[in-house]
Every structure is written in structure tokens, then in C-alpha cells.
Amino acid sequence: MNNQVDIAILGGGLAGLTLARRLRTNRPELTIRVLEKQKDLPQTAAFKVGESTVEIGAHYLAETLGLRQHLQDHHLVKYGFRIFFSQSGNRDITRRTELGVAKIFPTGAFQIDRGRLENFLL
């Protein structure tokens, strides 16, 4: 077995896997290995930090890494940061005071299931 590689990435989490995808896209001639200490595949609903993206992060994942279809099909689209304040016993959300964006941004964001995304990137 030949263990020589051009690039070894330590860590098979989101950062390591997206780096490997970007390198594979830009430099397909390179031999890339992602080394991960965990023996099992990431669990769906892994509850890791970074499960919610902001618009610029979503743009990078969707456009630069080419993951738009996967994100739209398997993760929740977010429409900006919104806060609903308590009012009238919290029974009717349409009567609550809301703080948030006035219109939907042209570049959306996503609520990501990290385990699902990491398994897709493998």
C-alpha cells in the first residue's frame, strides 16, 4: 500500500472535509487524505457547534463548494435572525412584537444537520 500523499488533512469534521472538497475541485491531480480519529461515521443530528450558518457562510457552501442542491434538499432554509417577544400570554405568534429583517435576503442561510452534511462530504 502506498502511503504517500500530496496533502494530509488532520480532522474529518466540517472544516477538514470542506477543505478537501475545495482542494479536489481546484487541484484534481493532488492525492488528498483526510485523517480522522473517530472510527464511526458522524451521527445525524450530531449537535455540533456551527449548525446554523450566516449568509456569507451559506454562500460559500452553496456556490464555492457546489453544495446548493444538497443544502436545499436536506437542510432547513433560514430567513434571517428573528426574535418574537412575549405578548398576550404567548398564544398567538401573529400578535407578538417581532424584531428581524424587513425582507428576505437574496442570499439565504441554512440550519445545518452537521452529521448529515459531514456524511455527504465523505
Give domain limits for the chain. 7-121
* Cα distance between residue 17 and residue 119, in whole Å: 10
Amino acid at 8: A
pLDDT reported for residue 76: 87
pLDDT in tens, 66-119: 999 999 999 988 877 778 887 767 677 777 888 887 777 777 899 888 888 999
Is 74 within 8 Å of 116 (Cβ atoms)?
A: yes
**Chain position carrying cell 482542494:** 23
Class of domain 7-121: alpha beta
pTM for the predicted model, two decimal places? 0.74
Q: Would you state the pLDDT for residue 49?
A: 60
Between 102 and 63, name the one with better pLDDT. Answer: 63
Instruction: Tell me which residue of 100, 118, 121 sits closest to 109, measured CA to CA.
Output: 100
Sign of the C-alpha dihedral computed for residues 36, 41, 47 and 52 taken in this order:
positive
HSE of 100, CA atoms in CB hemisphere, 13 A: 14
Q: Are 101 and 82 in contact (CB under 8 A)?
A: yes
**114 closest CA partner among 74, 80, 85:** 74
- Reported as a single tens digit per residue, the pLDDT across 21-52 is 999 999 999 999 999 998 887 777 656 665 78
